[in-house]
Chain A
Amino acid sequence: MPADTLSKVFAALADPTRRDMVARLSVADATVNQLAEPYGMTLQAIYKHLRVLEEAGVVSRAGGPQPRPVHLEAGSLDPMDEWIERYRRQAAERYQRLDRVLAEMNEEHPR
């Protein structure tokens, strides 16, 4: 996945309303009206958030007559998870080396 696509996903999730939408869509698809309900925002503002999520590939809407439910593209979040997981493994390896250094310090200067 190109870095700019990942940046779009990160940016799309940088907004608390959009994160909340994603969390709700992870439970079930929803229409725009259903999505808008808890936020006290204009439909126009909701569509704006949806457009950001759509452009990042995080959500999609089927073509066809209204109302078209919004669907979470769960797979779109995987590459980010994968990057973080690899980064985590690298940190885990570093800290295992630190474990060994700390263990040797214990032997030299018992607590």
Chain B
Amino acid sequence: MTTVEADPVVPIIRISRDFQATPGQLLRAHTDPELFARWIGPDSLRTRIEQWDARTGGSYRYVSVRDGAEFAFHGCFHEIRPDRIVQTFTYAGSPDQVLLETLRFDDLGGGRTRLRTQSLVESFEVRDAWLKSGMETGVDEGYAKLERMLTDDTV
């Protein structure tokens, strides 16, 4: 089950989800560009990695493509270690906005890992815009698909 929480005190969005995988595998899925490109974008988008240096102090840039429209994203890998990634994230369409993201891989034992992500933005207004963008994409993806997702997402 994916849970999302919008913190009422600071402009943070938290997401939590358990996976049938080790922390090491989750780290690889986040740092190997070929693996990352296969899952990050919505189904309707194709992701093209333009630059990728997944090391502490490195940076990344990727482009999501749909019907010729391109959406570019970039940021820095502030710190990468076995149980945690700290990175920045900017959508090129809003170049002044930067998210500070912390991803934690909590080993639950038995080959299961809890992924906890925390995204901090500069104001509640910006966070609301992010939440709203989630809504718009959801609408684009189509209601039937959302229904299927809801029933499938029972892990």
Contacts and interface: CB of A to CB of B under 8 A. Distances in A.
B9 A93 contact: no
B95 interface: no
Contacts of B38: 97, 101
A106 B129 CA distance: 37
Interface stretch (A57-65, A68-76, A80-88): A80-88
Contacts of B139: 86
A101 B141 contact: no
Contacts of A50: none
B129 A91 contact: no
Nearest to A93: B149
B9 A14 contact: yes
A92 B9 contact: no
Contacts of A97: 38-40, 43
A51 B134 CA distance: 31
Given A6-B128, A14-B8, A14-B9, A83 B134 contact: yes
Interface of B: 2-6, 8-9, 13, 15, 17, 19-22, 25-26, 28-29, 35, 38-40, 42-43, 111, 115, 124-125, 127-132, 134-135, 137-139, 141, 145-146, 149-150, 152-153, 155
Given A84-B6, A86-B138, A98 B29 contact: yes
The 7 tightest CB contacts between A and B, nearest first, are: A87-B134, A97-B39, A88-B4, A92-B2, A86-B138, A86-B135, A102-B21
Given A83-B135, A95-B2, A100 B39 contact: yes
B43 to A, nearest CB: 7
B43 A83 contact: no
22 contacts: A3-B128, A6-B128, A11-B124, A14-B124, A86-B139, A87-B13, A87-B130, A87-B138, A89-B134, A90-B42, A90-B137, A90-B138, A93-B145, A93-B153, A95-B2, A95-B17, A95-B153, A96-B153, A97-B39, A101-B38, A102-B20, A106-B25
A111 to B, nearest CB: 6
A80 B13 CA distance: 13
Contact of A3 (B2, B20, B129, B155): B129
A96 B152 contact: yes
B66 to A, nearest CB: 15
Interface in A1-30: 3, 6-7, 10-11, 13-14, 16, 19
